[in-house]
Amino acid sequence: MSGRGSGASIRGQVMLRLDPQALGELVAGRRVAMVSGTNGKTTTTHFLAAAVRQALGPDTGRLVHNADGANLHGGIASALGEAPHADLAILETDERVVADLVRLGRPEVLVLLNFSRDQLDRNHEIKGLGRSWREALATAGHDGPVVVANAAEPLIVWAVGTAREVVWVDTAATWTQDAALCPQCGAPLLREQPEQAADGTHTAGGHWRCSRCDLAQPTATYRVVGDTIVLPDASVVTPALNVPGGFNVSNAACALAAADLLGIDPETALAGMRTVSAPAGRFGTATISGSRARLLLAKNPAGWAEALPLATSGTVVLAIDSAAADGRDVSWLWDVEYEQLAGRSVVATGPRAADLAVRLTYAGVEHRTVPDLAEALRDHPEPVDVVATYTPFQRLRKLGGL
């Protein structure tokens, strides 16, 4: 009614204030698959939900999915409350909520994607989050979920060391700046050089191992190789997704592994995933202030490293804020390689546009600073790519009707 959002989070917050046990009651008795990680969880959850819908056919009333990305306790309770009779729940879950849902919901499948610095004022040390996952899986024991885990992420590998069963996915990840030390013993990690194709693109990630203890990258049954996915039977599929970026091939590989655990064959699962084009507005295109804009979400250095190469328009708009949902600490700006935008037309916008402008100046990137989002998108003659943190991204979605 206030026009401040979808109402999903506040509805769940009120519900949990009235009945603190509501989340446990709402999740009980359902088959639950959860997806978590710092980056990619919204898109991966959409992939998995689409695969389930494809398998269910017209009987989609059996499925509940927090499609708007409200992934804290209140948002999940809200989604479950809207579909009390759905027996299948595909839930995007914030990293800090995973342990609680493992305890309350006894999920059948848990997909764990990655760990990187995010919202530094709230998640000071990502190993603390990994430890909470490890302890929750240990406590769940034989009643715990089968975990689909990213073998390329050392902290993920350590965190799932107590799980009853793990399906490993080699996502060929190339972001390593948040994993220099072994999470088990603290010694430096050693990495092989990533494999490269003739055009210089990575076809496989560089495997890692600890220089001191026995922690090392596990052998994966699902592997991302370029724009293809190698399945456990050694067959190769090309996802042919309707969302861009090699990282989404990795997200699809994790969703395929989870779909298989839910009894969905790869052909059916991929047919569903190909229906996903703008999950919760990501990669969506809209007209804003007279300009045609494609919206890319980037919340942290790892996300920006993936998003910036996708911003291929002549003019690129970068939108930054530091509200609670973005993380109030914006020091991460200095870990993003904005230097790659040199020679392009760049507009810095959002409430923290001045901070971004300083970073762009040091990067040698010519830019204009236009703090107002709507004004920054005013009347560009050619389509523009907009890369935004969470809060301006949501406002841009609203301005564009996405």
Q: What is the pLDDT of residue 120?
A: 57
Burial (Cβ within 10 Å: 0-12, 13-18, ≥19) of residue 85: exposed
Is residue 118 part of the annotated active site? The answer reads no
Digit-coded pLDDT (tens) for 350-395: 999 999 999 999 999 999 999 999 999 998 999 999 999 999 999 9
CATH number of the 284-400 domain: 3.90.190.20
Which DSSP state fits 328?
A: S
3 state SS of 127: helix
Regarding beta strands 88-92 and 31-36, do their DSSP bridges make them parallel or antiparallel, or are they unpaired? Answer: parallel
Which segments of 147-273 does DSSP mark as H helices, in order? 154-159, 246-261, 266-273
Those residues whose C-beta lies under 8 Å from the C-beta of residue 55, and which sit 6 or more positions away, are 259, 262, 263, 264, 268, 269, 272
Is the dihedral angle over the CA atoms 98, 276, 70, 14 positive or is it negative? negative
Band of residue 6 on the pLDDT scale cut at 50, 70, 90: confident
3 state SS of 346: strand
**Could you tell me the two tokens for 45?**
């959850």
**Could you tell me the two tokens for 97?**
């909520």
Q: How far is residue 63's CA from residue 264's CA, in Å, rounded to a whole number?
A: 14
Residue 77 near residue 12, CB atoms below 8 Å:
yes
The catalytically annotated residue of 100, 329, 335, 355 is 329
**pTM of the predicted protein model:** 0.90
Q: What is the pLDDT of residue 205?
A: 55
Q: What is the pLDDT of residue 119?
A: 56
Q: How far is residue 226's CA from residue 339's CA, in Å, rounded to a whole number?
A: 25
Q: How far is residue 258's CA from residue 256's CA, in Å, rounded to a whole number?
A: 5
Band of residue 1 on the pLDDT scale cut at 50, 70, 90: confident
Q: What is the pLDDT of residue 196?
A: 58
Instruction: Please check the confidence at residue 118 and state whether its pLDDT lies above 80.
Output: no
Q: How far is residue 349's CA from residue 369's CA, in Å, rounded to a whole number?
A: 6
Residue 333 near residue 362, CB atoms below 8 Å:
no
Q: What is the pLDDT of residue 228?
A: 96
Band of residue 192 on the pLDDT scale cut at 50, 70, 90: confident
Give residue 335's Cα distance to chain centre: 19
254 is in an annotated binding site: no
Band of residue 25 on the pLDDT scale cut at 50, 70, 90: very high
Partnered with residue 166 across adjacent β-strands are: 147
User: H or E stretch including 236?
Assistant: strand 236-237
What are the φ and ψ backbone dihedral angles of 324, each rounded to 5 degrees? -55, -40
Which DSSP state fits 242?
A: S
Digit-coded pLDDT (tens) for 292-315: 999 999 988 889 999 999 999 999
Q: How far is residue 222's CA from residue 331's CA, in Å, rounded to a whole number?
A: 36
Instruction: Please check the confidence at residue 231 and state whether its pLDDT lies above 60.
Output: yes
Burial code (b: 16+ CB inside 10 Å, e: under 16) for 269-307 equals bbebbbebebbbbbbbebebbebbbbbbbbbbbbbbbbb
Architecture of the 8-278 domain: 3-Layer(aba) Sandwich (3.40)
Q: How far is residue 157's CA from residue 168's CA, in Å, rounded to a whole number?
A: 9
What are the φ and ψ backbone dihedral angles of 225, each rounded to 5 degrees? -130, 105
Instruction: Please check the confidence at residue 248 and state whether its pLDDT lies above 60.
Output: yes
Partnered with residue 224 across adjacent β-strands are: 229
Domain extents for the chain?
Answer: 8-278, 284-400
Q: How far is residue 399's CA from residue 402's CA, in Å, rounded to a whole number?
A: 8
What are the φ and ψ backbone dihedral angles of 264, each rounded to 5 degrees? -110, 125
Neighbours of 159 (CB within 10 A): 26
Q: How far apart are the first and last CA of the chain?
A: 18
Q: What is the pLDDT of residue 329?
A: 87
182 is in an annotated binding site: yes
